Structure 1
Amino acid sequence: MRRVNAFMVREREIRVFPGARGRVATSLSSVAGHVSFLLLGYSYMTSDLLTLRALAVGGLSAAVVFQYFRDVPLWLPIRWNALFVAINVFWVAKLYYDEYNAEHWCTTEERSLYDRHFSHMALNSFRTLLKHGKWRDIERGFEFTKEGKMNENVHVLIDGSAEVYVGGKSVNSIDAGSFIGEMSLMRSIAGSNAKKQSKRPRAASATVVAAERCRVFSWDDGELRQLIQQNEQIKSGVQAAFGVGLAEKLLTTRVMSTKVFAQEPQRVSHALA
Structure 2
Amino acid sequence: MDLGFIIEGWAGHLSYLLLVLSMLMRHMLWLRLFVIASALAGIAFDHFWLQNPVGVFWQSLLVVVNVAELALLWRNDRRARFTPEEDRFRETLLSGLSPGRTRRLLDMGRWETLPSETVLTHEGQRPEFLTYVASGVVRIERQGRLLRLVGEGHFIGEMSLMGDGLAVATAVMQNEGWVWRIERPKLDRLRESNPAAMAAVEAGVARDMRAKLAYQNAGAETAVRPVGGTAD
Tell me the TM-score normalised to structure 1 length: 0.55
Deviates more, 1:224-233 or 1:238-247: 224-233
Question: 1:165 offset after TM fit, Å?
Answer: 2.9
Counterpart residue type for residue 49 of structure 1 = M
**1:109-159 alpha-carbon deviations (Å, 9 max, x no partner):** 4344345427447826843642640154777x7653342567454311346
Q: Which residue of 1 aligns with 2:111?
A: 134
Deviates more, 1:73-82 or 1:52-61: 73-82
Q: Which residue of 2 aligns with 1:207?
A: 170
Q: Which residue of 2 aligns with 1:61?
A: 40
Counterpart residue type for residue 91 of structure 1 = E
C-alpha separation between the residues in 1 aligned to 2:17 and 2:95?
27
SS at match of 2:56: helix
Q: Which residue of 2 aligns with 1:254?
A: 213
Question: 1:93 offset after TM fit, Å?
Answer: 1.2
Tell me which of 135, 140, 144 is aligned to 1:164.
140
**1:19-55 alpha-carbon deviations (Å, 9 max, x no partner):** xxxxxx975x777656645643443333222332233
SS at match of 2:180: strand
SS at match of 1:155: strand
Question: 1:92 offset after TM fit, Å?
Answer: 1.0
Q: Which residue of 2 aligns with 1:79?
A: 57
SS at match of 2:94: helix
With over 3 angstroms needed to count, the CA separation of the structure-2 counterparts of 1:209 and 1:243, relative to structure 1, is same
C-alpha separation between the residues in 2 aligned to 1:254 and 1:169?
18
With over 3 angstroms needed to count, the CA separation of the structure-2 counterparts of 1:160 and 1:230, relative to structure 1, is closer
Question: 1:81 offset after TM fit, Å?
Answer: 1.6
With over 3 angstroms needed to count, the CA separation of the structure-2 counterparts of 1:89 and 1:40, relative to structure 1, is same
* 8 A Cα contact 2:141 2:148, kept in partner: yes
C-alpha separation between the residues in 2 aligned to 1:159 and 1:82?
51
* 8 A Cα contact 2:159 2:168, kept in partner: no
Number of residues paired by the alignment?
Answer: 214
With over 3 angstroms needed to count, the CA separation of the structure-2 counterparts of 1:133 and 1:78, relative to structure 1, is same
SS at match of 1:254: helix
Tell me which of 185, 198, 204 is aligned to 1:225.
185
Counterpart residue type for residue 205 of structure 1 = V
Question: 1:74 offset after TM fit, Å?
Answer: 3.9
* 8 A Cα contact 2:26 2:196, kept in partner: no
Matched, 1:100 2:78: yes
C-alpha separation between the residues in 2 aligned to 1:49 and 1:168?
46
Q: Which residue of 2 aligns with 1:123?
A: 100
* 8 A Cα contact 2:109 2:180, kept in partner: no
With over 3 angstroms needed to count, the CA separation of the structure-2 counterparts of 1:187 and 1:30, relative to structure 1, is same
Q: Which residue of 2 aligns with 1:3?
A: none
Q: Gaps spanning 5+ residues in structure 2: where?
A: 218-232
* 8 A Cα contact 1:159 1:177, kept in partner: yes
Q: Gaps spanning 5+ residues in structure 1: where?
A: 1-9, 13-24, 189-201, 258-273
Counterpart residue type for residue 66 of structure 2 = N
* 8 A Cα contact 1:163 1:170, kept in partner: yes
With over 3 angstroms needed to count, the CA separation of the structure-2 counterparts of 1:151 and 1:56, relative to structure 1, is same
* 8 A Cα contact 1:142 1:210, kept in partner: yes
Question: 1:91 offset after TM fit, Å?
Answer: 0.6
With over 3 angstroms needed to count, the CA separation of the structure-2 counterparts of 1:68 and 1:225, relative to structure 1, is same
- Is the radius of gyration larger for structure 1 or structure 2? 1
Q: Which residue of 2 aligns with 1:15?
A: none
Deviates more, 1:50-59 or 1:245-254: 245-254
C-alpha separation between the residues in 2 aligned to 1:58 and 1:168?
59
Question: 1:205 offset after TM fit, Å?
Answer: 3.1
With over 3 angstroms needed to count, the CA separation of the structure-2 counterparts of 1:33 and 1:49, relative to structure 1, is same
Matched, 1:47 2:34: no
